[in-house]
Amino acid sequence: MIKGKKYITVLVIVLLIFSCKRVSNSDSNIDYSSKLKQVVDRGVLRVVTDFNSTSYFIYRGQPMGYQFEMLRELADYLGVELEVIVNNNLSEKFELIKNGEVDMIAVNLTITKERREIMDFTVAHTQTHQVLVQRKPDGWDKMSAGTLEDSLIRSQLDLAYKTIYVQSNSSYAKRLYNLSDEIGDSIDIREVDEGVEQLIEKVALGKIDYTVSDENIAMVNETYYNNIDISTPISFPQNLAWALPKRADDLRESINNWLVYFKNTSQYAVIYHKYFRNKRSAEIIESDYFANSSGIISPYDKVIKQFSEEIGWDWRLVASMIYQESRFNPKAKSWAGAYGLMQLMPTTAKKFGIDQNSDPNQNIRAGIMFIKWLDERLSEIVDIEERRKFILASYNVGLGHVLDARALAAKNGFDENVWDNNVDQFIINKSNPKYYTDPVVKYGYCRGTETYNYVAGIYKRYEHYRNLVIQ
């Protein structure tokens, strides 16, 4: 679990204050009066966000995105893990928070009177204004600046009788309805269950003529759709915030305190510029390894899928493991002599018929054979999902050390067949003389924290892959 040590004292004070408070709620059985305590006790902050080219995506095997990086920093501050749910349907997001299935909606939400009636908002995490996204005419690159300008909508009055597609229940739709009243003419507003980036793509491809977007998102999309224009404002500057359940006051205040602090740091500036001012945005989105659109995690997906089927594993879990081992670099070599995508030690590699001259496909095949070998030796662990965690741990630190940790767990009254909060604690303890000198231990000392982090890291990345890459 990621720990935010710097803020533990602050959290303890906040928890003591708010743990004494209870707000009666006749409309719901969910008590939000100590929401912060619930999150900290659970050890997990559950959020729902969008999957798109700015909020949350996979690039070259690694989860990225403005919302994702901000949320990761927030989870670190709270001292909890981050659990991300993806859903691009705004109405469904509202239902998730209403039903208590998530702690927060982490997207670019504008604050409206109607929304305030059903949820609360943090302070702004950023500011922007809404713009019209329209397509430049064919041959625009050969037009004079004046001719091009004359062909585009620049006055909001000219939106009368135009058909504009926007995401359902969004602030874009509300703004257009208000704008229709302001200009005294009808705007044909089509609310659809598609995300803003999908609609921008449709404008660029000529499938629709107009949509509306926050300027910062539109600017990113303009870098890889050079035939769109985003220079016509639709709204005044607006604050964008995250949403929480009503009466989750302690969690909201804690997040607000962090946002006020964090937004003034150089780290926030780096994150913001990385996603909204970065000229490499187009390169990322157009890459074959932008998994949100391509469904590709690495150059070796086809081979990973093929060999994963032989052992009945989700190929995305194996891909996460390979990323952890080598970052998909077939020439990777460790200080201990492990090499290739699967980072097999020379003795193990030889056992499964490869050497340093073998190609990446054969390296993956040998790694899968090693996983199968470990699976056979851990077959007494009946639960398949649990067994996979033990296999991954054994792949990292060696089967002997994992068997030692199981023996220690059993001796100390823990479940030797369950990894989380059971055997994983004893793999960590194998660096402590009290444990590695115990008579049940056959393989002595090991630096078990690395193995704990190895398994946790693979599964955390696997969850991101499952969120964004179709099996």
- The pLDDT score that the predictor gives to residue 42 is 95
Which pTM was predicted?
0.66
CATH topology of domain 5-126+239-286: D-Maltodextrin-Binding Protein; domain 2 (3.40.190)
175 vs 110: CA distance, rounded Å: 11
What residue spans of 327-447 are helical by DSSP H?
Answer: 346-351, 360-377, 384-397, 399-411, 424-429, 433-436
CA 346 – CA 349 distance, rounded (Å): 5
- The topology (CATH level 3) of 301-468 is Lysozyme (1.10.530)
Task: Out of 69, 83, 194, 325, pick the active-site residue.
Answer: 325
The topology under which CATH files domain 130-236 is D-Maltodextrin-Binding Protein; domain 2 (3.40.190)
> What residues does each domain of the chain span?
5-126+239-286, 130-236, 301-468
3-state class of 26 per DSSP?
coil
Side-chain-side CA neighbours of residue 81 (13 Å): 13
Domain 130-236 and domain 301-468, same fold? Reply is no
Cα gap 85→77, rounded to integer Å: 20
Q: Is 450 a catalytic residue?
A: no
Confidence at residue 8, expressed as pLDDT on a 0 to 100 scale: 35
**N- to C-terminal Cα distance for the chain?**
27
Tokens found for residue 137: 């005419």
The tens place of each residue's pLDDT in the chain, 471 residues long, gives 433 433 333 333 333 333 333 333 334 455 555 899 999 999 999 999 998 888 898 877 788 899 999 999 999 999 999 999 999 888 899 999 999 999 999 999 988 888 899 999 999 998 889 999 999 999 998 999 899 999 999 999 999 999 999 999 898 999 999 999 998 889 999 999 988 988 999 999 999 999 999 998 898 888 778 899 999 999 988 899 999 999 899 999 999 999 999 999 999 998 988 888 765 555 555 555 555 556 789 999 999 999 999 999 999 999 999 999 999 999 999 877 899 999 999 989 999 999 999 999 999 999 999 999 999 999 999 999 999 999 999 999 999 999 999 999 999 999 999 999 999 999 999 989 899 899 999 998 888 998 999 999 999 999 999 988 877
- Round to whole Å and give the CA distance between 270 and 255: 20
